[in-house]
């Protein structure tokens, strides 16, 4: 037996309609709340995509890591070891100005050169590192290392810190604080046995020891004409002094800059 429309409506009470409306409103409210929470918590943009700025920064760092401001050839290749007839005796790196200087021997004469100065015709000091320099010759960059410097006779370096710059000593202190006695081997002068005058402060500064035998100054050998206090005269107008000494059975070199 079926119901007519009127009979069905009579069976649906007002309370049932209110309950259905409440359920519908609750569903709509839950949906709106879920959308609001998703909007607050979900990331903006696709997950896992890095910001464009981060990619650019990483690329820039990679370029900087491959860049060497000193030891670069003009075509981007590595600098080659120089075959010039010059010797490197010391470097001074200036991190403030980015320039620095180097003590370089040319034709037996040692001088201090600043970055940008001409060492010899067509050869410019291009850059300075703690153990090497870069020179520019005919548009190409070449490297010169401290251990390339080979003196006329076997000389081992004095035990000093390789990274430390040579000390700067006024010339008048050399004449006032160092003296010695000529050492003879048979009829030949074999050097000058050094000893300090006064407290020995200069000896400590430049790395000398009492009893060291001075063999030469800037390549000039000690002979019978050398007075005990004449080391300053042998240095003369040079910007740097290189003392070749014999300590025991070992020959060493002591280098320091001359300042006014």
Higher pLDDT, 114 or 156: 114
pLDDT at 148 over 60: no
CA angle 45, 46, 47 (to 5 degrees): 115
Q: Which residues of 189-225 are buried (b: 16+ CB within 10 A; e: fewer)?
A: bebbbbbbeeeeebbeebbbeeebbbbbbbeeebeee
Report the distance separating Cα 208 and Cα 196, nearest Å: 9
Return the CATH number of the domain spanning residue range 158-259: 2.30.42.10
Residue-wise pLDDT tens digits, 27-59: 888 888 888 877 777 665 555 555 555 444 454
Residue 76: pLDDT band (50, 70, 90) is very low
Architecture of domain 80-148: Roll (2.30)
Residue-wise pLDDT tens digits, 174-188: 888 888 888 888 888
Put simply, whether the predicted model's pTM sits higher than 0.75 gets the answer: no
Domain 80-148 matches domain 158-259 at the CATH topology level: no
Report the distance separating Cα 217 and Cα 84, nearest Å: 24
Spell out the domain ranges in the chain. 5-41, 80-148, 158-259
Residue-wise pLDDT tens digits, 205-222: 888 888 899 888 888 888
Residue-wise pLDDT tens digits, 79-125: 588 888 888 888 888 776 667 888 888 887 888 888 888 998 899 99
pLDDT at 4 over 60: no
88 and 132 Cβ atoms separated by less than 8 Å:
yes
230 and 179 Cβ atoms separated by less than 8 Å:
no
Higher pLDDT, 12 or 207: 207
Q: How many CA atoms lie within 13 A of 100 on its CB side?
A: 21
């Amino acid at each position: 037996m079926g119901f007519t429309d009127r009979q069905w409506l009579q069976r649906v009470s007002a309370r049932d309609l209110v309950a259905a409306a409440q359920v519908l409103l609750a569903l709509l409210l839950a949906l709106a709340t879920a959308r609001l929470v998703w909007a607050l918590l979900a990331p903006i943009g696709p997950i896992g995509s890095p910001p464009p700025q981060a990619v650019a920064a990483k690329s820039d760092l990679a370029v900087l890591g491959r860049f060497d401001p000193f030891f670069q050839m003009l075509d981007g290749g590595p600098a080659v070891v120089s075959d010039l007839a010059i010797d490197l005796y010391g470097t001074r790196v200036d991190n403030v100005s980015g320039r620095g200087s180097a003590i370089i021997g040319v034709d037996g004469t040692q001088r201090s050169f600043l970055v940008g100065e001409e060492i010899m015709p067509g050869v410019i000091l291009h850059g300075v590192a703690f153990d090497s320099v870069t020179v520019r010759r005919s548009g190409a960059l070449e490297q010169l290392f401290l251990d390339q410097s080979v003196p006329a006779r076997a000389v081992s370096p004095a035990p000093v810190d390789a990274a430390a710059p040579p000390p700067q000593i006024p010339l008048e202190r050399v004449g006032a604080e160092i003296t010695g006695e000529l050492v003879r081997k048979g009829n030949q002068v074999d050097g000058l046995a050094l000893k300090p005058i006064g407290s020995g402060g200069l000896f400590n500064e430049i790395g000398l020891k009492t009893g060291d035998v001075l063999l030469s100054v800037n390549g000039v050998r000690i002979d019978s004409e050398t007075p005990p206090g004449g080391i300053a005269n042998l240095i003369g107008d040079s910007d740097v002094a290189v003392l070749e000494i014999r300590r025991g059975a070992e020959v060493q070199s002591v280098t320091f800059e001359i300042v006014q």
